Amino acid sequence: MPWLSAWRVRRNARIRERKRFEAIEMQKLRKTATRRCRNCLSPYRDQNPGGGRFMCFNCGHVSKRPVLDLPVPPGLGISNSSIVKDLVGKGGKILNSKVWSENGWMCGQEWLENGNWVGGSIPGNPSNWRTNGNGGLFGGDEHCLTERSYCGILFLVCKLLTSFFLSIRWLWRKTFRISSTVLQSRTKAHSMTTRAKAGIFRPKIYTAKAAAHIYDSTIEPHTVKEALSKPEWCQAMKEEYEALIKNNTWTLVDLPPGCNAIGCKWVFKSKFNADGSFHKHKARLIAKGYHQRAGFDFTDTFSPMVKPTTVRVVLTLALSKQWHMHQIDINNAFLHGTLKEIVYMNQPPGFDSREKGKVCRLQKAIYGLKQAPRSWFQTLSHFLITMGFTAAKSDTSLFIKITQTFTLLVLVYVDDIIVTGSSKSEVVSLVTKLNYMFKLKDLGPLHYFLGIEVSNTTDGGLILSQAKYIRDLLHRAKMTDSKSQPTPMVSGLKLQANGSAAVTDPTFYRSIVGGLQYITITRPELSFSINRVCQFMHNP
């Protein structure tokens, strides 16, 4: 039931009361009033509550009795008109035994039975009752009718103005949702029991200004112009640009004829901690590697990646022998790789240069180049080999150094590195040497690596969790509100290549399945189900 405003409820109540009062008065008037037929040239515009086109009024100052004025159009007999029902009762008798015409003549029952009254056919002196206001029975009634007509017009105008202003008031309240609590307390719109009447309200969520500011600042811009308008992202771009200049990443030269200059763009990312709290703003200059030409701008692109099995083995070995595990992060790792090919790139947008007509000849590998991961891994592996490490045969991302006094293990995943060994002093010494060679960030004991949360237990164990990574994967797949299932796959389900309709977005399918493969590091029970869906990645 729609909500009714207080003024509308009061208006409806007044209308109902007025109709009920008029109906009662009409019943009394039909029994006692004297009828008078008027030979009018035009019908009355006013309509009484009973539905007939006649006017009901009390001439208390002259006639001292109620009168029903019945207008009859010219040329129409009263017996043929619609007002006979107002003159004649249920028994066929004229009410009050008399009918007054406009010229003052009074007719009885025999007049109705013998003939029709037509305007002007009944003789008489119309001026007797019009002018003789003191002696005539209806003296002054015409003047009263005129006044009543003007009063009706005035009442109609006032009613229209009232309706107009009430509509404006309703529109104002509807627009700004302003309601009068006083009127609501006095008037009950309906008898329903609502949640508001029962005192049940939805709790309001109040967000602190600091939290709102952090949320607004973590929104990643999509364009350089948008990033430059925000101080925090502008500072992140400045830090990245200064790091590129400091490492001598490029030199400005003229583009030789026939050479290709690839483009570049800025990528903005908000970094978060393992618990989901905000960490920092990160701006990265990315080369558009898809513009590179094979054989001209690059040759080999392969770079080894650490295997999930290797990660579990290293953590298990360090935990069983109670080794210290240290975590470091190389700042701008790809910038430390030296390029063997000649690559030209356009100047980064957002920073004005004095030499606008020139391009950047890259001296170091930059993010986005196809050979950038390989160049960085070759630089790091060459440094570790000179320090006495050797690459494992089963996984070249694992470097091992074994002496008579200590054992060191270095696990490399691009720029994230885990260092562990039997001697804590040797671990710290290696971290110091790496910091001297490459500027790095010391993250301390292992706590968050490749999306894996690592926490120590009281009995000396480790708990590996990928809760944040799984939540992000569900959010990307738009399944955060999906119902959980007891098993990862329906028992006995047989998947076929042509068993159902093709996936609408094969790229999205491969992305989600690839993300599921990474979950098997901490959830090995999902390996069988994920392996089954991976069999259809070539043609989902």
Question: Where do the domains of the chain lie?
Answer: 6-157, 213-465, 467-482+489-534
pLDDT at 389: 94
**For the ranges 49-53, 106-110, 222-226, 415-419, the one whose mean pLDDT is highest:** 415-419
Assess contact for 149 and 128: CB atoms under 8 A.
Answer: no
pLDDT at 32: 58
Q: Determine which of 259-268, 346-355, 472-481, 506-515 has the lowest per-residue pLDDT on average.
A: 346-355
Residue 182 has pLDDT above 50, yes or no: no
Assess contact for 341 and 262: CB atoms under 8 A.
Answer: no
Residue 65 has pLDDT above 60, yes or no: no
Residue bearing the bigger pLDDT, 538 or 334: 334
Assess contact for 369 and 397: CB atoms under 8 A.
Answer: no
At 380, is the pLDDT very low, low, confident or very high (cuts 50, 70, 90)? very high
Round to the nearest angstrom and report the end-to-end CA distance of the chain.
Answer: 51
Name the residue type at position 17.
E
Determine the Cα angle at 165 with ends 161 and 169, to 5°: 165
CA distance 22 to 16: 10
At 419, is the pLDDT very low, low, confident or very high (cuts 50, 70, 90)? very high
Strands (E), 55-143: 55-58, 66-72, 99-100, 106-107
Determine the Cα angle at 493 with ends 489 and 498, to 5°: 115
Residue 136 has pLDDT above 50, yes or no: no
Residue 384 has pLDDT above 90, yes or no: yes
**For the ranges 20-24, 144-148, 418-422, the one whose mean pLDDT is highest:** 418-422
pLDDT at 107: 47
Whole-model pTM: value is 0.53
Residue bearing the bigger pLDDT, 340 or 60: 340
pLDDT at 218: 66
Residue bearing the bigger pLDDT, 355 or 56: 355
| Average pLDDT for 175-184 | 53
Residue of 96, 88, 83 whose CA lies nearest to 52 = 83
Q: Provide the token pair at 97.
A: 């035994």
Q: Parallel, antiparallel, or unpaired: how do β-strands 250-253 and 324-330 relate? A: unpaired
Residue bearing the bigger pLDDT, 277 or 148: 277
| Average pLDDT for 264-281 | 81
Residue 408 has pLDDT above 90, yes or no: yes
**For the ranges 158-172, 226-240, 352-366, 500-514, the one whose mean pLDDT is highest:** 226-240
Residue 38 has pLDDT above 80, yes or no: no
| Average pLDDT for 271-276 | 74
- Helix or strand (DSSP H, E) at 210: helix 209-217
Q: Determine which of 114-123, 419-428, 522-531 has the lowest per-residue pLDDT on average.
A: 114-123
Cβ atoms within 10 Å, residue 372: 25
At 502, is the pLDDT very low, low, confident or very high (cuts 50, 70, 90)? low
Residue 77 has pLDDT above 60, yes or no: no
Phi then psi for residue 326, to 5 deg, are -120, 145
CA distance 66 to 63: 8
Residue 98 has pLDDT above 80, yes or no: no
Assess contact for 428 and 327: CB atoms under 8 A.
Answer: no
Q: Provide the token pair at 323.
A: 């080794």
Residue 235 has pLDDT above 80, yes or no: yes
Question: Residue 52: which residues within 8 A CB-CB, separation 6 or more?
Answer: 82, 83, 86
Q: Provide the token pair at 79.
A: 């017996």
Residue 42 has pLDDT above 70, yes or no: no
In the block, which residue shows the tokens 């992060």? Answer: 329
| Average pLDDT for 240-250 | 86
CA distance 367 to 335: 8
| Average pLDDT for 212-222 | 63
Alpha helices in 274-371 (DSSP H): 308-320
Longest dimension (CA), the chain: 147
Kindly report, residue by residue over 305-348, the tens digit of the pLDDT.
888 889 889 998 999 998 999 999 988 888 888 888 888 898 88
Residue 209 has pLDDT above 60, yes or no: no
| Average pLDDT for 181-185 | 48
CA distance 149 to 142: 11
Residue bearing the bigger pLDDT, 337 or 53: 337
CA distance 355 to 19: 90
Assess contact for 540 and 503: CB atoms under 8 A.
Answer: yes
pLDDT at 40: 40
